[in-house]
Amino acid sequence: MSTESSRISYFVLALAEVLDGSQPALAQRVKERLESFVCARSPHLEKFARTEVHKYERHGHSKTYVFLTSSGESDIDVPAFFTVGMTSLDLSATSASKRKKFSGDVSLSVTGAYSIAELARSDAYTSAQLPGEVILGEANVVIRQAREYVAGRFLVVDAQRVVYERLYAPAGFSEIATARPPGDMAGADFVTACSKISGWAPA
């Protein structure tokens, strides 16, 4: 069990803000940290941080947010990141009762949804230092802010089943389908899970 005293201090910035040219030294260090990001339990997340994140950012497919923490006297590290975007949610294969639970008085088989596309903690940090619930909570802040401007009822994640069971299910997500694993994790057990944003309350 983590305690407040064992947790690292951090702040969160949008990657686009880091790379906007106003702080070139910071931008260079964040790039270096992402290019050496280690997440052995998920080759997909490791590859995304090292080689894919800037491409998705440039094309507007998603927005990445990086956690920054001090490293030594005058350096910074990237202990974690998450990426949010938009997706479609297909409820047509779910039971009528589950569709009713999610959709309420406006029943839709397919609708738009927010997505946590990527969420990762570096292997250099433990769950006591930076719990997954804390990373998820920061994503919660970003998505709720977006919802204030453009509405939206649902949040969707595709996650390894073990991550779903440990992190997303306790935060109020429900499994709605089996998900296709990323190409670099063929054979892994992935699920698609959904939550109503109004009922999403990470610990």
Residues 6+ apart with CB under 8 A from 121: 39, 79, 80, 127, 130, 132, 135
Sign of the Cα torsion 10, 11, 12, 18 reads negative
CA dihedral 50, 15, 82, 58 (to 10 degrees): -70
* The predicted structure's pLDDT at residue 60: 82
Tokens in use for 52? 């894919």
Other beta carbons within 10 Å of 16: 12
pLDDT tens, N- to C-terminus, the chain (203 residues) = 455 678 999 999 999 999 998 999 999 999 999 999 999 989 999 999 999 999 998 888 899 999 999 987 779 999 999 999 998 887 776 767 766 666 666 666 777 889 999 999 999 999 999 999 999 999 999 999 998 888 888 899 999 999 999 999 999 999 988 888 887 788 889 999 999 887 666 64
Rounded to whole angstroms, the Cα distance separating 196 from 27 reads 35
**Are 8 and 79 spatial neighbours (Cβ–Cβ below 8 Å)?**
yes
Tokens in use for 8? 């690292």
